[in-house]
Every structure is written in C-alpha cells, then in structure tokens.
Amino acid sequence: MASAFRIAAGLEFGRNRTQEIHCYKSRVFDPIVIPTKNEDTDSQNEELYEVRIIDNDHNTYGEVIQITMLALGISEEGAYAVAWEVDHYGSCVVAQACKAEAERLASIIRLIGIEVRVQPVNGRV
C-alpha cells in the first residue's frame, strides 16, 4: 500500500506519521476539529464552521495534497484521502473551527484556486 501511494501521489512519505486516517460510512477523511484557544465562556460557546473543499477540473491531486498538508498540518496519507474524497464525492469537509480560524484555513487553501466554502456546521448560513 505504501509504495502504491507513492506512485499514485508522486510523493515520498515523511518519517513522522502523526495523523491517522479514519474511515466512516462513505467518507474517507474525518474533519479536523480545531478547539477555540480562549478560555472565556463566549469563545467556548462560539459556533463551529466547517471548511469544505469543492472539486474542480483544474487542480491536480498533487496540488490538493500539498496545500492541505500546508494549511491543515496533516500527513501525506491524510492529504491524499482529502484529494481522493474531493475527486470521488465532489467535496470534502476538512476542518471545523470558529469562524475566524475556518476563514483563515480557507484562505490558505484558496491560494491555488480551489473553491472553499465556510459555513456553520449545523447548516444554517
């Protein structure tokens, strides 16, 4: 599997693999939940927003892998799972965070021209 991944992604594995890939139902990648850093009660009750990457015909697997590793700090395996899910399902929720952090992550991912949606986890806009 490891060598097949290297061939498919065109990348070499790093020595430290800290992010584990979790599978659930039809999805491949569990979104990363980023806790609020402030300890006050207002920020603890702050609504979570999801960061969703949308598929397009322009970006390659390699580009998606590299930008998600940079933005989310995930492993190559995790980033490949994101790219695969975007390609096969049309989108992938990659993170849940407070609005400011979700927008920050989305702005990094958008640098390569990918459409990224930030919306409340509960679906209200």
User: Is the whole-model pTM more than 0.85?
Assistant: no
pLDDT band at 91 (very low <50, low <70, confident <90, very high): very high
CATH topology of domain 2-120: Ribosomal Protein L30; Chain: A, (3.30.1390)
CA–CA gap between residue 96 and residue 32 (Å, rounded): 6
Residue 18: alpha-carbon gap to chain centroid: 15
For 8-65, the pLDDT digits (tens) are 333 344 444 333 333 334 556 777 788 776 555 455 567 999 999 999 999 999 999 9
CA–CA gap between residue 65 and residue 84 (Å, rounded): 10
pLDDT at 33: 83
Beta bridge pairs of residue 50: 96, 119
pLDDT at 85: 96
* Better-predicted residue by pLDDT, 87 or 13: 87
Closest to 68 measured CA to CA, from 125, 23, 124, 9: 9
Mean pLDDT of 60-81: 96
SS3 117: strand
CA–CA gap between residue 33 and residue 30 (Å, rounded): 9
pLDDT exceeds 70 at position 100: yes
